[in-house]
Structure 1
Amino acid sequence: MEKPKMIIAGGNGFLGKHLVHYFTELGYQVITLTRKRGYRIGMLHWDGHTLGPWTKALEGAAVVLNLAGRSVDCRYHIVNQYAIIRSRLDSTKVLGEAIAQCQNPPAVWLNASTATIYTDTRDEQPANTEADGCIGRNFSERVAQQWEAEFWVAATPHTRRAALRTAIVLGAGGGALPVMARLARWGLATPQGDGRQWMSWLHIDDFCRALELLIARPNLEGTFNLCAPQPIRNEDFNAQLCQHYQPRWQLPQPKWLLEIGAFLLRTETELILKSRKVVPQRLLAQGFTFRFPTCDLALSNLLPQLT
């Protein structure tokens, strides 16, 4: 029997590599669209904004998954803002064009988005759900809105679609957690700013399993929050890192110091100071069972893999 085909655009990063392994183990033929030139097994070259020979791979695909987009770990000056926006809109637009031209279009198109689309949610404000989340108006939030708008405007009537509003994904093989762990060893496992901001997150295993669910159920389409059901405050997350690593000293991280550090590191404090309080209402309604519903379970599983 021929293996179902999955196309992953932008699949060379932390999430993509995990997904390639996960869905290969499930019996998929996984093909990654990459900007890197040169022949590699399971990879096709594309530039992320123009049609080309890579479009043939989409014919008859079971799944197209778009993860393409420039990192937001940078300063938000005008040049970087433009690059962040164009990398997301262009890749989404050209995938829509490619799918629209298919004689046998893909069954499912999953397109990355971000839980950052919701506004800064403080204190005891209700968590943001897909049904009644409060959409923000700052730069990163507007990027997410434009990204999703480009996705939904695509003319692909024969392909089921889902937008993935993904929170920070925790894993031992890359992403943000290894960086957080290294800082914790250096004594930077203290509250960042006032520490009261919420953090929505998801274990890498549950991320892969959630996508498996979305692919398997033909009735699921629209927008989905991909995050664990229990957000955690920044101060509590850092306390768990501190408990694990037991650093010899603990350095305070007030907002003014973080602003200086972000400037020197050419990044933005929004990445750690914004309060992201999001819950996966639609996944829970589908009966999805999280293997790691709480952050202490996730960190207990992942941190030993980093030591």
Structure 2
Amino acid sequence: MNQPLMILAGGTGFLGRHVAQHFRQLGYEVLMLTRHARRFGEVAWDGRTLGSWAASLEGAAVVLNLAGKSVDCRYNTVNKYAITRSRTESTRVLGEAIARCQRPPAVWLNSSTATIYQHTEGAQPANTEAAGVIGRGFSEMVAQRWEAEFWLAQVSHTRRVALRTAIVLGADGGALPVMARLARVGLCTPQGDGQQWISWLHVVDFCRAVEFLLNHPTLEGAVNLCAPQPLRNYEFNALLDQHYQPRWHLPQPRWLLELGAFLLRTETELILKSRKVMPQRLLDAGFRFNYPTCELALNDLLPQLG
């Protein structure tokens, strides 16, 4: 019996490595579309134009698109253009490739972001797929253009799901190892006023949620991928402090964060925007999280970081 085929676009990073391992263990053949194909199981593409890579999509069980320039940079004109273009063009060209297939993929999962929702303060309700309030800043507009390109694709025989993913926590990539290094030297204090909400997801639950979506054919459209219990920034940092117990604690007022972000060539939005998101559609469909609370997730991950 042939293995089901997963096409993983932009899959050589942190999330892609975990997804590939998870689905290979489930018996899938995983083929990565990458700009620099160097090994077996990788096919070269540029994320913009059709090419010989498009033939690999024929008969695939699933296409998962994780492509996109990192947002961990300064939001100058050049980077804003690259952030937007890398998302919309990779989505557009995948849609064109799927539309040309004689045996189109059964499911197309395309990355989006939980940052699509507005800055959500205080006791405001969490953003669900049905009742979430879409924001109007740069990051939110990128997300809207990204999803618009996804829904414009003429792929009537392929089920589509937009993955509105929150910050994914893992021990070997993403934001957590950086946070842990800072926490060890005392930067596990509230950032800004510490009241901003953090929506997050353990990398194991990210992979399990992708698997769940593949196995539930009635789920299509936008789906929030985040744990069901967002927490405040000060609560998150308190968990880091509890684990590392540094000898001193350094304050992190907004002005200092702005200076640090400038020096590190990044943006304070990544830590100061309040993201309060609920995975309502996953919960309603019966998905059960292995790590529903951040305390459980960090208790699993932080010991792996040493």
Superposition TM-score tier, normalisation by shorter sequence: over 0.9
The 2-side partners of 1:22 and 1:198 are apart by 29
1:164 equivalent in structure 2: 163
Q: Tell me the secondary structure at the aligned position of residue 225 of structure 1.
A: strand
Percent identical residues: 72
Letter in 1 for 2:85: R
2:134 equivalent in structure 1: 135
Query: Which aligned pairs between 1:14-33 and structure 2 lie closer than 5 A?
Result: 14-33=14-33
Distance 1:25 1:37, change over 3 A: closer
Q: Tell me the secondary structure at the aligned position of residue 250 of structure 2.
A: coil
Letter in 1 for 2:108: W
2:186 equivalent in structure 1: 187
1:98 Cα deviation (Å)? 0.1
Q: Tell me the secondary structure at the aligned position of residue 223 of structure 1.
A: strand
Q: Tell me the secondary structure at the aligned position of residue 129 of structure 2.
A: coil
The 1-side partners of 2:231 and 2:302 are apart by 17
1:110 equivalent in structure 2: 109
The 1-side partners of 2:258 and 2:170 are apart by 27
1:6 equivalent in structure 2: 6
Q: Tell me the secondary structure at the aligned position of residue 33 of structure 1.
A: strand
Q: Tell me the secondary structure at the aligned position of residue 180 of structure 1.
A: helix
Query: Which aligned pairs between 1:202-241 and structure 2 lie closer than 5 A?
Result: 202-241=201-240
The 1-side partners of 2:216 and 2:128 are apart by 20
CA distances 1:131-165 after superposition (whole Å, capped 9, x unpaired)? 01000000000000000000000000000000000
Letter in 1 for 2:16: G
The 2-side partners of 1:306 and 1:280 are apart by 28
Q: TM-score, normalised by structure 1?
A: 0.99
Letter in 2 for 1:67: L
The 2-side partners of 1:205 and 1:84 are apart by 26
1:37 Cα deviation (Å)? 4.1
The 1-side partners of 2:37 and 2:6 are apart by 20
Q: TM-score, normalised by structure 2?
A: 0.99
CA distances 1:161-180 after superposition (whole Å, capped 9, x unpaired)? 00000000001111110110
Q: Tell me the secondary structure at the aligned position of residue 110 of structure 1.
A: strand
Letter in 1 for 2:59: G
Q: Tell me the secondary structure at the aligned position of residue 217 of structure 1.
A: coil
The 2-side partners of 1:227 and 1:57 are apart by 31
The 2-side partners of 1:140 and 1:285 are apart by 28
The 2-side partners of 1:213 and 1:52 are apart by 31
CA distances 1:3-22 after superposition (whole Å, capped 9, x unpaired)? 00000000000000000000
Letter in 1 for 2:265: R
* Alignment size in residue pairs: 306
The 2-side partners of 1:17 and 1:158 are apart by 28
